[in-house]
A and B are shown apart, each in its own frame.
Chain A
Amino acid sequence: MIRKARACGCREESPIKQTALFNTHQHSGASLIEHHGWQVPACFSNSEDEAARVRESVGVADVSWMLKFDLKGYGLKSPLALGEGAFSWALGPLHALVTCDPSSRREVMDRFQGLRTAGADLALPPPVYVTEVTSVYAQFLLVGPHCREVLSTLTSLNLSENSLPNLSCGQSSLAHVHAIILRQDLQGIPAYQLLVSREYGESMWESVLHAGHEFHLSPFGLQAQQFLKV
């Protein structure tokens, strides 16, 4: 849900969450709004143009506000049942990353609680340990018909359809920084979620924008994301 922002730049009484790119967005002239407590760009120029450019070529959005959880434990031997809206990505044999929209925080947390207590044998350690890592990663959504070409200039990960199909993930170096790359198409448009440790956020954003020059890659805001989802 989008609420009109309080005027930006003033001292807030309650903490408003800023992504690693807050300063970059402010300087690019984006209009910022509050979204689940985060200050995020609503649009950079014109939302409809932004969405159209994504559909035709490629665009990138800062979606660091998406919820992320790091799951570890023997309970991950069997596939996770998380319900709609949450996605589980296998990062290792007993290691998973769960991503979901902030609106489904409660349901996802309930499911984690269920996992921790399901068939709990008190003699054994809990089957799953959950650590919220939303703050840990800067997360970018790279989407559009040309997104694979842009990404292939930054990572040696094999991005071919066979190797990294929709809803699969990989870990690799992205512009010389360790990254988690999630393939998650958006309404049939090829798309990747790129996760790098937050402190690299700004430098990675510049690298991605630079890599996309050839395809006129430009950033898009929350409004364009809503258009693309329908």
Chain B
Amino acid sequence: MSVDERSETIRFEFCGKPVEARAGDTVASALYRSGQRIFTRSFKYHRPRGLLCLSGKCPNCLMNVDGVPNVRACITPARAGMRVRHQNAYPSLENDWLAIAQRFDWLMPVGWYYKTMTYPSAWHAAEPYIRKIAGLGEPPPAGSEGGEYEHNYRHAEAAIIGGGPAGLQTAVELGSRGEQVMLIDDQPALGGHLRYSRNSGVAAAELIADLIGKVQKLSNVEVLQGCYCFGLYEGNLLGIVEPNPHPNAAERLIHLRTRRVVIATGAYEAPLLFRNNDLVGIMLSTAAQRLIRLHGVAHRVPDAGLLSQAGARLEWDGGKGAFVSVDLPSHVAAVGDVTGASFIAASRLPPEQVMASKRAFVCLCTDVSSKDLQDAIAEGFDHIETLKRYTTATMGPCQGRMCQLSAISVCAHETQRSMGATGTTTSRPPNPSVTLGALAGARHHPTRRTPMHYEHDALGAVWMDMGEWKRPRFYKTQTNSEEKACVEEEYRAVRERVGLIDVSTLGKLDFKGRDCGKLLDKVYAGRLSDLRPDRVRYAVLCDEAGIMLDDGTVSRLADDQYFITTTTGNLEFVEQWLEWWLVGTGWDVHITNMTGGVAAVNLAGPKARDVLAKLTSCGLDTKAFPYMACRRAEVAGVQALLMRIGFVGETGWEIHFPAEAGAYLWRTLLDAGREFDIRPFAVEAQRLLRLEKKHVIVGVDTDALTNPFEAGMGWVSKLDKEDFIGRAALRRLSGEELKQILAGFIMNEEALPEDGAAILVNGRLAGRVTSARYSPVNRKAVGLAWVPAELARPGAEIDVRVGGRLARAHITQQAFYDPEGARLRM
């Protein structure tokens, strides 16, 4: 760390005590100066651990910073006022009661966890304690993280990972050619190992200053300092984390897409294996850089994680004593020490008695010793990948960077294979570890609101989510907030007077062109080309296997214009499905999605005509405006499309009009209906109303295997028309005997089954309920259910499971309410 001695001191808090730091300090360097030596307690045995790598690679300095666990203290710049806490130790790092675990290491041989913690007995008893004792930091309570997370998307011609001499030199060269370059360096300042290796002398300092100066002059080279790249994904997409990009954000995840990637991650020193190699005070030597670089005393390991993610193969080079990357893909380059070019082999493994020690730690993250590896190999886990999974070595926060070489050496030695034959484990992102907050990004979830959203709010709407949409479930009233009573009041208003529901969430598509009829005939199961202008038809969409995908209404507005509605959740699918079948036909059809731009309400009930007549000059009597007709007319001065259809089973109009007039027309209709005691009604009441009419909701009452014949809607498919999607399958199905049928049932007694309840016949499971509600007209619960075909006859008795017991019900053929549909046509 290059600390500026003259700078002002700042203060942060460590476990409640103030710690002083200067500009350029990291959390770890400031703590070390203040006398702190123990930084963490180990995963399993709670052994004290001190600084080891000082480069953000090992797990020895993971701390909780401002509520965020597992922050690498050695690469986190100290900021005034930050609150740092230790983790996995109680009451303190120096005096950790749980260190007693060390005494019981003989109880915890490798794999003990898998062998003893079997479900359910031991696991249930032990889980809460294990969670407390073992592990790393605790996840922060929801909503308490320091600041927010955000995402950012960048593009560049070349990305260079690593700001050491190799990376800087590459940046200068590519930058001088005019390429847009991003240089990503995870250290506090540029320069790589030349920053701290004193013995590289004045020449190195000059070299680095010169390179940094050149890079800074190039306006097309952007340096992302203190940011780490954790993954290289398909299509040269790099995942990069920028800590504290600005005061409001804890972390920013940068998605960087580039044409080329240059990996200059350099090399790092891997720890040696000896007894008690994890004691506090033992650290990788930066002072011994000269020895390392010239004589190969210690092990250097190419930092090749990203190269291997890019698809390079790692091959053991005995002469260099390292795994070096070969077969790089063409868009990725490696420069500097990451290539292993300057490496010299050094001896690796300690004597046998050290290898057999429980205290020679291979994996510092999860306390795995060389003895543990030996035991695991003896148990048969002798492949490096199975050894990794069984012992968890290389699987901790360091992601193998501290332990992989030791693990491979032990494995090779024990299995008497070469290092090359033993091979490496697979490197996958993230490397290093990333917070879940950074991956998730800002806490934003797209929400879809209808134009009348705040009108509903004012009316006491209780909201429900339908995909991304917000829809009122029912409305609380001043006298009543209980769902059942409110729904029934809404229901009665529609059946007896008049009700108004917001159906703006319906998908709406505008069709223009001479060949619209052709496309609709091809895609929908019914015939739509012969629909007369100003008429509406119900239509069902089936796939090639005759399975029902969606339903809706098709209105013909003119010879070359149709208007189609889809169910709320299926708009995107239907639009794509129609476009898909249009491609290559050469037909003159143009589809425009109007969903967001069109507000829609359904005004229904015996008094609906009286309300609407107050606001429009359009003739509304059944002769002028029959059932299943549509008209374009002004309603309260708003251009609207009126459709006389009846999902809820009463005289009613679905009114489609521009979204910007949504709130206005909603209020105007309610005002006009006041004298008839109009009520807004919502999804729950609508579901009850339609169920009494036995109207099926595709996707609720049907599933991914339902064809129209089973759903009792065989009439929707016109098998005699020209070829259409699903015709062959529907033809075949029309001649087959049905196995199960969607039938209506009425309970014989006071009992309300839940949606999805089981149906039994003679004690055997025979089907299930898809929808059931209490029907005020029948004074019993009614519903739709899948039953065996032989039972789908009026009067057949079935048993329905209701709250743990069986209740008797009988099948009905007709709708539960107004089976002739007389009220619709009034």
B249 within 8 A of A: yes
Query: For A15, A125, A213, which residue has the most chain B Cβ atoms within 10 angstroms?
Result: A15
CB distance from A6 to the nearest CB of B (A): 14
* CB nearest to B156 among chain A residues: A160
Q: Which of B255, B448, B638 contacts A15 (CB 8 A)?
A: B638
CB distance from A10 to the nearest CB of B (A): 12
Q: Which residues of A contact B472 (CB under 8 A)?
A: none
A176 within 8 A of B: yes
Q: Which of A19, A136, A200 contacts B446 (CB 8 A)?
A: A200
Q: Which of B442, B658, B661 contacts A210 (CB 8 A)?
A: B442
Per CB-CB distance, the 5 closest pairs between chain A and chain B, nearest first, are A136-B597, A135-B597, A198-B596, A17-B660, A197-B596
Query: For B155, B246, B248, B663, which residue has the most chain A Cβ atoms within 10 angstroms?
Result: B155
CA distance in complex: A148, B441 (Å): 19
CA distance in complex: A18, B449 (Å): 14
Q: Which of A15, A200, A203 contacts B664 (CB 8 A)?
A: A15
Q: Which residues of A contact B665 (CB under 8 A)?
A: 15
- Assess whether A18 is in contact with B246, with CB atoms less than 8 Å apart: no
Q: Which residues of A contact B661 (CB under 8 A)?
A: 15, 17-18
B793 within 8 A of A: no
Q: Which residues of A contact B252 (CB under 8 A)?
A: 153
Could you tell me which B residues sit within 8 Å of A by CB distance?
Answer: 150-155, 180, 245-246, 248-249, 252, 255, 257, 442, 444-451, 453-454, 469, 504, 510, 512-514, 588, 590, 592-598, 636-638, 658-665, 667, 671
CA distance in complex: A198, B598 (Å): 9
| A11-B667, A155-B153 known; A203-B592 Cβ under 8 A | no
- Assess whether A18 is in contact with B446, with CB atoms less than 8 Å apart: no
Q: Which of A14, A70, A125, A135 contacts B598 (CB 8 A)?
A: A135
Known: A136-B597, A159-B155. 7 other contacts (CB 8 A): A129-B513, A135-B597, A136-B596, A198-B451, A200-B596, A203-B445, A211-B442
Contact indicator per residue, chain A 4-30, by CB within 8 Å of chain B (1) or not (0): 000000011011111110110000000
Q: Which residues of B contact A19 (CB under 8 A)?
A: 660
CA distance in complex: A154, B255 (Å): 11
**A to B CB contacts below 8 Å, 19 in the list:** A15-B638, A15-B665, A19-B660, A23-B454, A73-B590, A129-B590, A131-B592, A133-B592, A135-B596, A136-B597, A153-B153, A157-B153, A175-B446, A199-B448, A200-B596, A203-B446, A204-B446, A211-B150, A214-B249
CB distance from B758 to the nearest CB of A (A): 38
CA distance in complex: A19, B596 (Å): 11
Q: Is the interface of B mostly helix, strand, loop or mixed?
A: mixed
CB distance from B107 to the nearest CB of A (A): 49
Q: Which of B151, B445, B504, B667 contacts A153 (CB 8 A)?
A: B151
| A12-B664, A38-B660 known; A200-B448 Cβ under 8 A | yes
- Assess whether A199 is in contact with B469, with CB atoms less than 8 Å apart: yes
CB distance from B207 to the nearest CB of A (A): 32
A206 within 8 A of B: yes
| A15-B637, A125-B588, A129-B590 known; A135-B660 Cβ under 8 A | yes
A72 within 8 A of B: yes
A45 within 8 A of B: no
* CB nearest to B660 among chain A residues: A17
Q: Which residues of B contact A103 (CB under 8 A)?
A: none
CA distance in complex: A154, B671 (Å): 42
| Those of A132-184 within 8 Å (CB) of chain B | 133-138, 152-160, 163, 175-177
- Assess whether A135 is in contact with B514, with CB atoms less than 8 Å apart: no
